[in-house]
Amino acid sequence: MLRKLLIINPNGSSAITQLIKSGIDRHLGPILSTYWTCPGGPPVLQSHDIDQNADTCFQLLLDITEDYDGFLLACYADHPLVTLLQARVDPKPVVGIFEASIYAALSGLQPAKRFAILTTGEAYEKQLEEGVVRLVGKSRADSCFAGVVSTGVGILDLAKNSQGLVKTKIKAGVKKLLGKSEIAAICIGGVILFGMEPLVREACQEELGSEAGREITVIDQLEAGAVMVRYAIHKKGLDMFG
């Protein structure tokens, strides 16, 4: 039987949904995917709106949860909708791209090495840092997490097609991030940054040298989410951090 997956975009932008689709579908394999955009949701979800957004999306999704075998939240934030849906649909898997990217970074991390998150706006730094601590615990976060660095890249930069400015902001963010600690993995956090993985890799090589820069793992948030939920659907659930 073909499994059915609902991919959730909690903001109201159909353009963002199409960007999400371009990064997820090719990693799902034989799973029937449906994309849901929050009706009337904000075009860009701000960190201070997340709790209200979670409640809104949850109420709108209640009537269709029985139609799907799994759920993927395509929002890079410590978003309460993940836990709300998990409580509602258990044992069906619910995965967030934020959680999936952290799991992907930790799975390949060597001792004494750390991972960090490269995100969009400064307002998300604290939200994501607290989210990592919640997911993995303070002790583990203290030993393997180097923190969050914002690039300042926003939706308006992309709307204006300001490629030069975006490139400058990304490279400045990578430079700051690599100066924080012995970084082995970078999670790219923020759906609008999807597709910039090659630029991040290039920036790592420029900063560290070609050989050392190539050793940095750059986590594609959408691929991480797709792979994790695909596995979870077939395994009927997943203990991510146990």
Residue 220 CA: distances (Å) to CA of 79, 172, 181, 191? 18, 19, 21, 10
Placement of tokens 């420029």 in the chain: 206
**Strand 70-73 vs strand 94-96: parallel, antiparallel, or unpaired?**
parallel
What integer is the mean pLDDT of 115-143?
96
Domain spans of the chain? 3-96+222-235, 99-220
| Spatial contact of 128 and 196, defined as CB atoms under 8 Å apart | no
What integer is the mean pLDDT of 132-149?
97
What integer is the mean pLDDT of 149-163?
83
Look up the pTM and report it: 0.94
What integer is the mean pLDDT of 137-153?
96
What residues does 186 pair with on adjacent strands? Answer: 116, 218
pLDDT at 239 over 70: no
Query: Which CATH architecture describes the domain 99-220?
Result: 3-Layer(aba) Sandwich (3.40)
| Rounded Cα–Cα distance for residues 71 and 238 (Å) | 13
pLDDT of amino acid 241: 45
Does the fold of domain 99-220 match that of domain 3-96+222-235?
Answer: yes
- For 23, the token pair is 């990064």
What integer is the mean pLDDT of 107-122?
93
pLDDT at 237 over 60: no
Q: How crowded is the C-beta side of 230, counted as CA atoms within 13 Å?
A: 16
pLDDT band at 161 (very low <50, low <70, confident <90, very high): low
Mean pLDDT computed over every residue of the chain: 93
Over residues 1-45, the pLDDT tens digits come to 899 999 999 999 999 999 999 999 999 999 999 999 999 999 888
**3.40.50.2300, 3.40.190.80, 3.30.160.100, 3.40.50.1860: which CATH number matches 3-96+222-235?**
3.40.50.1860
pLDDT of amino acid 242: 44
Torsions phi, psi of 161, nearest 5? 55, 40
Helix ranges restricted to H, 115-162: 123-136, 138-144, 155-159
Placement of tokens 């979670």 in the chain: 54
pLDDT of amino acid 236: 59
Residue 217 CA: distances (Å) to CA of 141, 175, 213? 18, 15, 9
Over residues 200-215, the pLDDT tens digits come to 999 999 999 999 999 9
What integer is the mean pLDDT of 125-135?
97
